[in-house]
Amino acid sequence: MLDNLDHFKCLKRGTAGAINIDPLQRGGILTPEAREAILEWADGYSVCDYCTGSLEEIQTPPIKEFVREALPQFLEVDEVRISHGAREGIFAAMHALCQGGETVIADGNAHYTTLLAAELAGLKVELVPASEGPGYRVDPGGYQEAISRARGRGERVAMAVLTYPDGNYGNLVDPKAVSEICTDAGLPLAVNGAYSVGRMPVSAKSLGADVIVGSGHKSMASSGPIGIIGATEELATRIFRRSKLVPKKELEMLGCTLRGAGILTMMASFPAVVERTRRWDEEVEKARWFAGEMERLGMDLQGDQPHGHDLMFFKSEILYEISKTAKKGRYFLYRELKKRNIFGIKPGLTRQFKLSSYQLSREELETVLSAFEEIVSNHPKA
């Protein structure tokens, strides 16, 4: 027992040199600076050499400046803390701002972790349904209806969440419109920016977000798990309140969160991340061009038209038809792409799948398009 463990030692990922089109992973690829940082700060508690009691107060390395100055400026929000990820930030906000038994409103395209966070905090969830495909749109007005429905049942509504964009279709709902409805209803709005913060320009102020969460490993070129949570001054007082039992420590984050290398990768990537958000228009243009080419091959882009994000969801009856008779069945697409050194579409999917063009060059995307073209045209069923 426990005698043959050597196979845990030198595990390789095996995707070196591949074109990765996984939306989950495109925004989390480390910059060269972050790769240096992760080795330098790899050891446990490395960031705590000069700790004075709180992660966000550490000056060597300059975590304090990063969290207290750089991130609030970047997000145009009063206060920021480092979390274990976007989901943990959403939970912290719900747990701090709502009472058990109350209701939160969320968009029908919300990430599953929004539901989990609410359930873990003892809250009910009222969803704003998305429209039928191919749009899968969430209408901001639906927030008003959802609030009315819940209140009509006598529930106390405590908070609203908007996923911006959602992680299925890359749809962007007008946050300002949602925010106005929430303000009128007296509800704080938390924006889940796991797929926007670090990819596109995001200003909590302009969005009308009272709380904003982002994901380092998803969109800020950081080694995860790591995320950020920002809040207005008023809500920050509640979310980042101090413990009564240990008054020096902030309660909701159990003192300190990112006691390791992840925060240094986020810092090391930050200059590049700021810069890339300024070139977001190019990413959107590239995504639209890519989607157009995919449609020419017979794939149907779902969600917003024109599309406003690098995350794209396609339906494809052609690939589905091929899969019915292909060797390896529904795994044929994964295998055909793998043969061409393209990764990131989940094994087994053909009829519908997600991908991302984020930070890929036109040449790399041409390679992906050629692969799809070949796969479709090589196969008798097509």
Closest CA to 353 of 310, 297, 315, 303: 315
Q: What angle do CA 65, 84, 237 make, to 5 degrees?
A: 60
Cβ of residue 97: shortest distance to a copy of itself, in angstroms?
14
Q: Would the annotation count 296 as a binding residue?
A: no
Residue keyed to tokens 């995001």 = 202
Give me the 223-242 binding string for a copy of itself, x by CB under 8 A, dash otherwise.
Answer: xxxx----------------
Which one among 45, 101, 281, 285 touches a copy of itself, defined by CB under 8 A?
45
Binding of a copy of itself at residue 378 (CB under 8 A)? Answer: no
Using a 10 angstrom Cβ sphere, with 0-12 exposed, 13-18 middle and 19 or more buried, the burial of residue 5 is exposed
Interface stretch with a copy of itself, choices 6-14, 139-147, 164-172, 372-380 (CB under 8 A): 6-14
Contacts 24+ apart (CB under 8 A), 300-303: 300/134, 301/134, 302/133, 302/134, 302/135, 302/136, 302/169, 302/352, 303/134, 303/135, 303/136, 303/137, 303/168, 303/169, 303/170, 303/171
Q: Would the annotation count 341 as a binding residue?
A: no
**DSSP, residue by residue, 174-242:** -HHHHHHHHHHHT--EEEE-TTTBTTB---HHHHT-SEEEEEHHHHSS--SS-EEEEE-HHHHHHHTPB
Residues 157-196 that bind a copy of itself (CB under 8 A): none
Which one among 274, 284, 297, 369 touches a copy of itself, defined by CB under 8 A?
274
Which one among 39, 186, 233, 363 touches a copy of itself, defined by CB under 8 A?
39
Cβ of residue 185: shortest distance to a copy of itself, in angstroms?
23
Nearer to a copy of itself, 104 or 181 (CB): 104
Which one among 17, 19, 21, 42 touches a copy of itself, defined by CB under 8 A?
42
Take residue 165 and report the two structure tokens written for it.
Answer: 């964009």
Residues 339-358 that bind a copy of itself (CB under 8 A): 343, 347
Cβ of residue 38: shortest distance to a copy of itself, in angstroms?
5
Number of residues that bind a copy of itself (CB under 8 A): 92
Cβ of residue 178: shortest distance to a copy of itself, in angstroms?
22
Residues 244-263 that bind a copy of itself (CB under 8 A): 244-246, 249, 251-252, 254-255, 257-262
The answer for residues whose C-beta is within 8 angstroms of residue 221's C-beta and 6 or more apart is 27, 28, 29, 30, 31, 34, 198, 265, 266, 269, 272, 273
Closest CA to 302 of 114, 168, 105: 168
Q: Would the annotation count 204 as a binding residue?
A: no
Cβ of residue 91: shortest distance to a copy of itself, in angstroms?
6
Which one among 22, 145, 155, 300 touches a copy of itself, defined by CB under 8 A?
22
Cβ of residue 35: shortest distance to a copy of itself, in angstroms?
6
> What is residue 130's DSSP assignment?
P
Cβ of residue 295: shortest distance to a copy of itself, in angstroms?
28
CA distances from 180 to 6, 85, 203 (A): 57, 27, 16
Distance CA 231, CA 205 (A): 10
Q: Give me the helices (H) in the chain, please.
A: 23-26, 32-40, 63-65, 71-75, 86-97, 112-120, 141-152, 175-185, 204-207, 216-219, 233-239, 261-277, 280-296, 317-325, 332-339, 362-378
Which one among 67, 264, 312, 333 touches a copy of itself, defined by CB under 8 A?
264
Distance CA 135, CA 206 (A): 25
Nearer to a copy of itself, 273 or 318 (CB): 273
Nearer to a copy of itself, 181 or 349 (CB): 349
Residues 121-150 that bind a copy of itself (CB under 8 A): 125
Binding of a copy of itself at residue 212 (CB under 8 A)? Answer: no
Q: Would the annotation count 4 as a binding residue?
A: no
Interface stretch with a copy of itself, choices 9-17, 162-170, 206-214, 289-297 (CB under 8 A): 9-17
Residues 58-117 that bind a copy of itself (CB under 8 A): 61-62, 66, 70, 73-74, 84-85, 87-88, 91, 95, 100, 112-113, 115-117
Extract the annotated binding site for pyridoxal 5'-phosphate: 86-87, 192, 215-217
Binding residues: 86-87, 192, 215-217
